[in-house]
Amino acid sequence: MTETAAPILSVRNLVVEAVGASAPVRIVDGVSFDVHAGEVFGIVGESGSGKSITMLAVMGLLSGRTRLAGGEVKLRGRSLTDMSREELRRIRGRHVSMIFQDPMTSLNPVLRIGNQIAEILEIHQPGLTRAAVRDRVIELLSLVGVPSPERRYRQYPHEFSGGMRQRAMIAMAIANNPDILIADEPTTALDVTIQAQVMELLLAVRTRNQAAMILITHDLGLVAETVDRVAVMYGGRLMEEGPVDEIFSRPAHPYTLGLMASRPRLDAAPEFLYSIPGQPPSLSNRPSGCVFNPRCAMQNGREICVTTVPSLGRASPNLQGMTHNTACHFSGEIEGWIGAIAGGRDAMRETS
C-alpha cells in the first residue's frame, strides 16, 4: 500500500456519457483513482452515483447507450482504453475479473456448475486437457468452501443455495488468478448470516491469490471493516478519496460528513435518523459547479460552489494531519460545520 509503488490499476479522468435523444449526458465525470497491489479499494455511493458504470468502463464493457467519452485506464501500465476488443477480451477474466451482485441470475440455469466454472479456464487456457480443467475446477470448488466438490461439480444452479452460488461465482472469478477482482455489491443479494461468510471467503481468496480488490457497495459498515482505501462517489464524480480510517473518522467533504451522520448508531438512540436534505441530482440536469451544492449547508450562498467544479485534491492545509483527497472548495471549514450538518450530532470523529 505504499504510495510510491506503481499502481496495478490506474484510472484517470474517466468520462462516460449516455447517448440519448437529446445531448449526451455525463454519467461519470472525470473520475480518477489508483488501485495498488494487494489493496482493497472501496467505492461507495448511492444508487445511480455511477459506481457500477465506472467499473464497466474500466473493463471496456460499455455498450448500447453508454460510451467512453474520455480518460484513460491503465492496467499494470498497459492502457486498456487503447486496446482492441480482442485484446480486451483476453484481459477480462484473466487479469481482471468481476463478481456480480446477484448469484441467482449470474449462472446459466441449464448448465452444470462445474462446466460453467470450467468455461473460464477453457476460454483463457485453451491448451488445458479436459482432465486438467476438471481437476482445477474441483480444486477451486473446494477452495471456496463448497462441500463435496466432485458431486457438486455435476449439479445445476437450482440445486445450489444463494450462498453456494456466490461461492461458485467467486470460484469462477479467481480461476485464472487475476490481478484485480472487482466485486460489485457481492453480498447485497444474500441474507445477513451468509453475507459475512461470503465476504470472509472473498477476502481470504484475495489474500491467498495476492490480488487487489475493488469493492463496490453502499454498505458503509462493510467498507469500514474490509477496505484499505475508499472513494466516495456522488452524481458521477468522486467527492473524496483516501485511507478508509481517515475518511470515516475525519471526512473533509460535506457529502461524506452527511453520509456518516446518517448511519444508525448502536451507542446512541437518536430521536430521528439524520438524512441529507434534498434529492440526488438528475444527471441530465446536473447542478452547475459542485454537484452537491444544492444540498450542501456549507455552500451558504457562496458563488464559487455554483460556478466552479471543485477538483479532487489534498484536503485544506487548515486540517492538520489529513492525507486524503477531497473535492470541496471549503474543506478547510469542515470542522466548523460538523454541528450544522450532522443535525446537532457532536464530534464526528467519535462516531467511528
Partner 1 sequence: MSSATADKTAPASHRFAGIRNALHIITQSYSMMFAAALLVTVLLLIILVPLLPGYDPYTQNLAVSLAAPFENIDGRTYIFGTDTLGRDLLSRVALAGRVSLLIGLCAVVISLALGVFLGLVAGFFRGVVESIVMGLADLQLSIPRVLLLIAVAAIVGPSVVNLTVLLGLTSWVVYGRVARAMALSLREREFVLSAVTQGASAAWNIRKHLLPNVLPQMLIVGSFELGQIIVFEASLSYLGLGIQPPLPSWGMMISEGQQYLEIDPWIALLPGIAIFMLVTGVQFLSQAFTSEGQFDLASPPKGT
Q: Which residues bind partner 1 (CB under 8 A)?
A: 59, 61, 89-94, 97-98, 100, 102, 105-111, 119-120, 123-124, 151, 154-156, 158-161, 164, 169, 172
For 31, the enclosing helix (H) or strand (E) is: strand 25-35
Residue closer to partner 1 (CB basis): 181 or 298: 181
Residue closer to partner 1 (CB basis): 102 or 228: 102
Contacts (Cβ under 8 Å, ≥6 apart) of 266: none
Nearest-approach distance from CB 100 to partner 1, in angstroms = 6
Residue closer to partner 1 (CB basis): 10 or 97: 97
For strands 313-314 and 325-326, give the pairing: antiparallel
Contacts (Cβ under 8 Å, ≥6 apart) of 205: 143, 144, 170, 174
Closest alpha carbon to 39 in 80, 2, 74? 2
Residue closer to partner 1 (CB basis): 126 or 321: 126
Residue closer to partner 1 (CB basis): 161 or 275: 161
Residue closer to partner 1 (CB basis): 82 or 159: 159
Q: Radius of gyration of the chain from Cα atoms?
A: 21
Nearest-approach distance from CB 66 to partner 1, in angstroms = 14
Q: CB of 140 within 8 A of CB of 146?
A: no
Residue closer to partner 1 (CB basis): 33 or 160: 160
Q: CB of 320 within 8 A of CB of 302?
A: no
Q: CB of 308 within 8 A of CB of 327?
A: no
What phi and psi values does residue 271 have, to the nearest 5 degrees? -60, -45
Nearest-approach distance from CB 119 to partner 1, in angstroms = 6
Nearest-approach distance from CB 221 to partner 1, in angstroms = 26
How far is the C-alpha of 179 from the C-alpha of 97, rounded, in Å?
Answer: 8
Nearest-approach distance from CB 22 to partner 1, in angstroms = 22
Q: Helix 130-143 vs helix 162-174: angle between axes, to the nearest 10 degrees?
A: 130
State how far Cα 350 lies from the chain centre. Answer: 26
Nearest-approach distance from CB 182 to partner 1, in angstroms = 8
How far is the C-alpha of 288 from the C-alpha of 270, rounded, in Å?
Answer: 35
Q: Which residue has the cell 471496456?
A: 60
Nearest-approach distance from CB 25 to partner 1, in angstroms = 22
